[in-house]
């Protein structure tokens, strides 16, 4: 005789239908808990994938130098233009290139806008192609002779200028014309995402336009093939430290950068897991409470079922499955809310230029449903045992 | 000689109420044979319901032994006992005790589910029996959509579902009007006469008790009188 069959579920369903409102209130904790878990995992999975994409695109032999070391220094620390040459001379370095970044007041069709301008050395544009600035949607890229030519990011027109700006048009900076010669393809990885809404130009021109002295925002270093990244980082670090007389910079490889992102996500995850855990606990206790009430109300019914041949495991299975179904319904609603929340996060991320898309896998869906049902069933065990321990004679005379 | 379906031997049921002990049954011995129709009578508190509970293996006695088909129930655990009940005994209660959320058909299918019968067999048997008790047209109605008499018919169909040897009825007409009560009693009599079911029935009305072959009178937990009912009224 099998204990689990269709009848069991149909009976559980009937019992729940009879107390819809109470069951619905009960599942609230489960809904919140599962929603938090689903949002968390799908966003985490999306982040994971975007980091992986970044690895694939940038390659593992890329090193970045950032200004700043400790907490105080990071405000004042600056990288130097000369650092690029210094690093290029370190053994094992293929090439190094500085990225400059600043806000620039530009005029377009009589309107002033502040835009993000990125400066690079046009001689290195081919080599830097791997970070996503060599592929053009339209036009041509910067060449070493370009001084006042700019390429714009694929979203620059839409998001910043809010006009159909394109090739051969120009932006004015203090009376100087910046001619648009190319439009970049949309960058997919996190790092190159900043090019999407920016203008990119010759770094010498950018320095001339800026009121204050601008220094490298990042120095990107590519290692020679087969080079040990950790040892190379060490050599670069030593070289720079000797030159600067202090360690006011950070040398990171992509692994570390993704770890940094991971630790932030990890912290958010911890908070969400906390919320999820408490909600599920509350949800479980709620289900237990509802089921205990239900056992009391149905004492007589349990007595009848026992009288007409129901065994203890049978009674337990009826109540446990019923509790599991409350959990499952809560889990299904929570799943939808969680997917919705993850969708909103993805949308916000996209609007702010972060290429993060929450990923909802079939495993996540099945896992969330199974988990919510499991929580319900566990919460149902105690009430079910209470129900099954009812003496048939006493239950039958119970009013 | 034929073996009894149910036999109790010197059974007592003592309820411990703290300071006082109440003897609901006091050394009762009784054998019930297949095909017998037995009614149990007695004033309130005489122990007639307790005796029925013990006879139907719902309640374990404090002393003495109960045999179902000559097997002692003290050797069985509660689950084995539940299964023996499911197979051997069909219950009819005064308050019907149907599951309110289930249709008549589902109520009748329930003991068959407990007995481990497959779904199509459950449905087939339940439909057939509901037809026999005259509810073929109302199978998908819930108990609250049925009259008292119809509800008790559903309960009888449920009691018959596993084809038990014994039907136990506790004041089966107690909640019914005279006409419906009469029909239910007739149905129970027919089960005994036509299908050879053993019937045990508790009642406090002598007129009803006289339908049985034999009436047992209880007082203070003891059998005080045992009367054969010569003149059984039978309706056409």
Question: What are the E-state strand segments in chain A?
Answer: 62-67, 93-108, 111-120, 136-139, 149-152, 170-173, 176-184, 199-202, 218-223, 249-253
Residues of chain B with Cβ-Cβ distance to A15 below 8 Å are 101
In chain B, residues with a C-beta closer than 8 Å to the C-beta of A312 are: 78-79, 82
From CA B4, how far away is CA A219, in angstroms rounded?
Answer: 99
* Percent of chain B residues topping a pLDDT of 70: 97
Question: Could you say which of B53, B59, B82 has the minimum Cβ distance to residue A311?
Answer: B82
- Note the pLDDT tens digit of each residue in A225-238: 888 888 888 899 89
Residues of B in contact with A308 (CB under 8 A): 85-86, 90-91, 110-111, 114, 158-159
> Which residues of chain B have a CB within 8 Å of the CB of A313?
79
Label residue B217 by pLDDT band (50, 70, 90). Answer: very high
Sorted by sequence, the CB contacts under 8 Å of residue B170 that are 6+ apart come out as B49, B52, B91, B92, B93, B94, B201, B202
Query: Residues of B with CB below 8 A from A14's CB?
Result: 101-102
Asked if the structure places residue B1 within a domain, the reply is: no
Q: Which chain A residue lies closest to B99 (C-alpha atoms)?
A: A301
Residue B89 lies in a domain: yes
With CA atoms as reference, the chain A residue closest to B54 would be A393
DSSP conformational letter for A161: I
R_g of chain A computed on alpha carbons = 31
pLDDT given at position B236: 38
What are the chain A neighbours of B82 within 8 Å (beta carbons)? 306, 309-312
What percent of chain A clears pLDDT 90, i.e. is strictly above it? 19
Chains A and B form CB pairs within 8 A to the count of: 69
Q: In this predicted model, what pLDDT tens digit does every residue of B25-84 receive, in sequence order?
A: 999 999 999 999 999 999 888 888 899 999 999 999 999 999 999 999 999 999 999 989
Nearest by CB to A308, from B79, B101, B114: name it: B114
Give pLDDT, residue A177.
Answer: 87
Q: Do B101 and A17 touch (CB under 8 A)?
A: yes
Distance of CA A254 to the CA centre of its chain: 17
Mean pLDDT in residue range A295-307: 90
Q: Would you say how long chain B is, in residues?
A: 236
pLDDT band at A3 (very low <50, low <70, confident <90, very high): low
Q: How far apart are CA B27 and CA A104, in angstroms?
A: 105
pLDDT tens figures, B103-160: 999 999 999 999 999 989 999 999 999 999 999 999 999 999 999 999 999 999 999 9
pLDDT one-digit tens code per residue, A246-280: 888 888 887 777 677 677 777 777 887 888 888 88
pLDDT of residue B235: 44
Sequence-ordered list of residues with C-beta below 8 angstroms from that of B186, at least 6 positions apart, any chain: B235
- The alpha-carbon gap from A386 to the nearest alpha carbon of chain B, in Å, equals 15
With a cut of 90, say whether residue A106 has pLDDT above it.
no
Pairwise CB contact (< 8 Å): B86 & A308: yes
Lowest average pLDDT, out of A283-297, A343-357, B52-66, goes to A343-357
Model confidence at A354, pLDDT cuts 50, 70, 90, reads low
Q: Do A7 and B113 touch (CB under 8 A)?
A: yes
* Cβ–Cβ contact B59 with A under 8 A: yes
Is A71's pLDDT higher than 60? no
* Mean pLDDT, residues A1-14 taken together: 74
Does residue B79 sit within a domain?
yes
The whole domain housing B170 covers: 6-228
For residue A13, what pLDDT is reported?
A: 81
* Residue of A309, A391, A399 to mutate, testing the B interface (most B Cβ within 10 Å of its Cβ): A309
**Inter-chain residue contact A313 with B59, CB threshold 8 Å:** no
> Chain B within 8 Å of A310 (Cβ-Cβ)?
yes
Q: How many residues are given for chain A? A: 399
The pLDDT tens digits of the residues spanning A114-163 come to 888 889 888 888 777 777 677 788 888 888 888 888 888 888 887 777 77
> In chain B, which residue's Cα lies nearest the Cα of A302?
B99
Distance between first and last Cα of chain A: 32
CA distances from B21 to A110, B13, B15, B25, B221 (A): 104, 10, 6, 12, 13
Calculate how close chain A gets to B62, using CA atoms only, in Å: 14
Q: What would the mean pLDDT of B20-26 be, rounded to a whole number?
A: 89
Q: Which of residues 120-159 of B touch A (CB under 8 A)?
A: 158-159
- B234 in a domain, yes or no? no
Mean pLDDT, chain A, as a whole number? 84
DSSP code for A189: S
Q: Going by DSSP bridges, is the β-strand pair A111-120/A149-152 parallel, antiparallel, or unpaired?
A: unpaired
Please, which residues have CB within 8 angstroms of residue A154's CB and are 6 or more apart in sequence?
A137, A183, A184, A185, A186, A187, A196
B76 Cβ under 8 Å from any chain A Cβ:
no
Determine contact: B110 vs chain A, CB below 8 A: yes
> CA B49, A397, B192: angle at the middle one, nearest 5?
45
Q: Is B78 within the bounds of a domain?
A: yes
B86 touches chain A (CB under 8 A): yes
* Amino acid A75: pLDDT: 60
Asked whether B206 and B33 are in contact (CB, 8 A), the reply is: no
In a domain, B233, yes or no: no
Count of domains forming chain B: 1
Q: What share of chain A is helix, strand, coil (3-state, %, to 5)?
A: 55, 15, 25
Say how far apart CA A148 and CA A129 lie, in whole Å. 20
Which residues 6+ apart lie within 8 Å of B98 measured at CB? B104, B107, B143, B151, B154, B155, B158
The reply to whether residue A308 touches residue B113, judged by beta carbons under 8 angstroms, is: no
> Which letter does DSSP use for residue A66 in this model?
E
Q: Is the pLDDT of residue A83 over 80?
A: yes
Contact B86 A309 (CB under 8 A): yes
Contact residues on chain A for B119, CB-CB shorter than 8 A: 5-7
Give me the torsion for CA of A150, A156, A160, A162, rounded to 10°.
Answer: 110
Contacts of A371 (CB under 8 A, 6+ apart): A34, A37, A331
Q: Does A385 touch chain B (CB under 8 A)?
A: no
Which of A355, A361, A384 is closest to A291 using CA atoms? Answer: A384
Please tell me the distance from the alpha carbon of residue A79 to that of residue A203, in angstroms, as a whole number: 15
pLDDT at A190: 62
**How close, in Å, is residue A369 to chain B by CA atoms?**
27
Contact A166, A154 (CB under 8 A): no
The region of weakest confidence among A6-15, A16-25, A384-393, B2-11 is: A16-25
Residue A339: strand, helix, or coil: helix
* CB burial string B159-190: b at 16+ within 10 A, e below: bbbbebbbbbbbbbbbbbeeebbebbbebbbe
For an interface test with A, the pick among B82, B104, B117 (most A C-beta atoms closer than 10 Å) comes out as B82
Q: What is the CATH number of the domain that holds B118?
A: 3.40.50.300
B79 touches chain A (CB under 8 A): yes
Give the pLDDT confidence of A200-219 residue by residue, as tens digits.
889 888 888 887 888 888 88
Average pLDDT over residues A390-399: 80
Q: How far is CA B200 from CA A342, B82, B89, B197, in A?
A: 65, 19, 10, 10
**Residue B235 counted as domain residue:** no
Residue B236 inside a domain? The answer is no
Q: How far apart are CA B199 and CA B89, in angstroms?
A: 10
Lowest mean pLDDT among A108-122, A352-366, A379-393, B53-67: A352-366
pLDDT band of residue A189 (cuts 50, 70, 90) is low
Lowest mean pLDDT among A180-189, A352-361, B19-28, B43-52: A352-361
In this complex, do B91 and A300 lie within 8 Å of one another by their Cβ atoms? no
Chain A interface test: which of B78, B162, B170 (most A C-beta within 10 Å): B78
Query: What is the DSSP track for chain B?
Result: -PPPSEEEEEEEEEEEETTEEEEEEEEEEEEE-TT-EEEEE--TTSSHHHHHHHHTTSS--SEEEEEETTEEGGGS-HHHHHHHHHHHEEEE-TT----TTS-HHHHHHHHHHHTT--HHHHHHHHHHHHHHTT-TT-TT--GGGS-HHHHHHHHHHHHHTT--SEEEEESTTTTS-HHHHHHHHHHHHHHHHHH--EEEEE-S-HHHHTTSSEEEEEETTEEEEEEE--S-----
**CB < 8 Å to A5, chain B:** 119
């Amino acid at each position: 005789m099998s204990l689990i069959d269709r009848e069991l579920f149909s009976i559980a369903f009937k019992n729940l239908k009879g107390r819809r409102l109470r069951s619905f209130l009960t599942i609230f904790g489960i809904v919140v808990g599962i929603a938090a878990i689903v949002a968390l995992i799908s966003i985490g999975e999306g982040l994971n994938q975007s980091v992986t994409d970044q690895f694939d695109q940038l390659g593992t032999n890329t090193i970045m130098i950032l200004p700043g070391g400790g907490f105080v220094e990071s405000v004042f620390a600056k990288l130097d233009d000369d650092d690029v040459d210094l690093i290029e001379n370190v053994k094992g370095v293929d090439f190094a290139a500085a990225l400059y970044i600043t806000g620039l007041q530009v005029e377009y069709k009589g309107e002033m806008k502040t835009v993000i301008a990125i400066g690079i050395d046009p001689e290195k544009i081919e080599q830097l192609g791997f970070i996503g600035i060599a592929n053009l949607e339209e036009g041509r890229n910067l060449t070493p002779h370009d001084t006042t030519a700019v390429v714009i990011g694929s979203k620059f027109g839409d998001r910043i200028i809010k006009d159909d700006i394109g090739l051969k048009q120009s932006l004015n900076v203090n009376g100087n014309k910046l001619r648009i010669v190319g439009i970049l393809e949309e960058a997919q990885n996190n790092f190159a995402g900043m090019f999407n809404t920016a203008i990119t130009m010759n770094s010498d021109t950018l320095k001339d336009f800026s009121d204050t002295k601008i220094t490298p925002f990042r120095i990107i270093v590519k290692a020679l093939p087969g080079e040990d990244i950790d040892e190379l980082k060490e050599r670069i670090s030593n070289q720079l430290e000797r030159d600067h007389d202090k360690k006011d910079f950070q040398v990171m490889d992509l692994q570390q950068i993704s770890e940094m992102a991971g630790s932030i996500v990890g912290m958010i995850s911890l908070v969400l897991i906390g919320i999820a855990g408490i909600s599920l606990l509350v949800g479980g206790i709620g289900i237990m409470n509802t089921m205990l009430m239900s056992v009391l109300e149905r004492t007589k019914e349990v007595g009848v079922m026992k009288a007409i041949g129901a065994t203890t495991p049978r009674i337990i299975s009826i109540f446990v499955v019923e509790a599991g179904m409350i959990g499952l319904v809560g889990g299904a609603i929570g799943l939808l809310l969680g997917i919705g929340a993850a969708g909103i996060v993805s949308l916000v991320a996209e609007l702010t230029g972060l290429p993060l898309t929450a990923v909802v896998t079939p495993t996540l869906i099945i896992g969330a449903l199974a988990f919510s049902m499991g929580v319900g069933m566990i919460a149902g065990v105690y009430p079910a045992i209470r129900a099954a321990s009812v003496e048939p004679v006493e239950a039958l005379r119970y009013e | 000689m034929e073996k009894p379906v149910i036999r109790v031997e010197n059974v007592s049921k003592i309820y411990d109420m703290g300071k006082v002990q109440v003897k609901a049954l006091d050394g009762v011995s009784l054998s019930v044979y297949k095909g017998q129709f037995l009614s149990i009578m007695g004033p309130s508190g005489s122990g007639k319901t307790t005796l029925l509970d013990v006879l139907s293996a719902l309640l374990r006695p404090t002393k003495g032994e109960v045999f179902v088909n000559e097997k002692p129930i003290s050797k069985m655990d509660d689950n084995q006992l539940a299964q023996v009940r499911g197979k051997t005994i069909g219950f009819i209660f005064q308050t019907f005790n149907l599951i309110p959320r289930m249709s008549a058909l589902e109520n009748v299918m329930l003991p068959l589910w407990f007995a481990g019968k497959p779904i199509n067999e459950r449905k087939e048997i339940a439909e057939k029996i509901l037809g026999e008790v005259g509810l073929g047209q109302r199978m998908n109605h819930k108990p609250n959509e049925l009259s008292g008499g119809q509800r008790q018919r559903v309960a009888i169909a449920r009691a018959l579902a596993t084809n038990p040897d014994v039907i136990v009825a506790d004041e089966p007409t107690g909640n019914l009007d005279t006409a419906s009560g009469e029909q239910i009693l007739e149905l129970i009599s027919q089960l005994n006469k036509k299908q050879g079911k053993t019937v045990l029935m508790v009642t406090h009305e002598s007129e009803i008790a006289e339908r049985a072959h034999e009436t047992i009178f209880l007082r203070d937990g003891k059998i005080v009188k045992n009367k054969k009912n010569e003149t059984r009224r039978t309706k056409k």
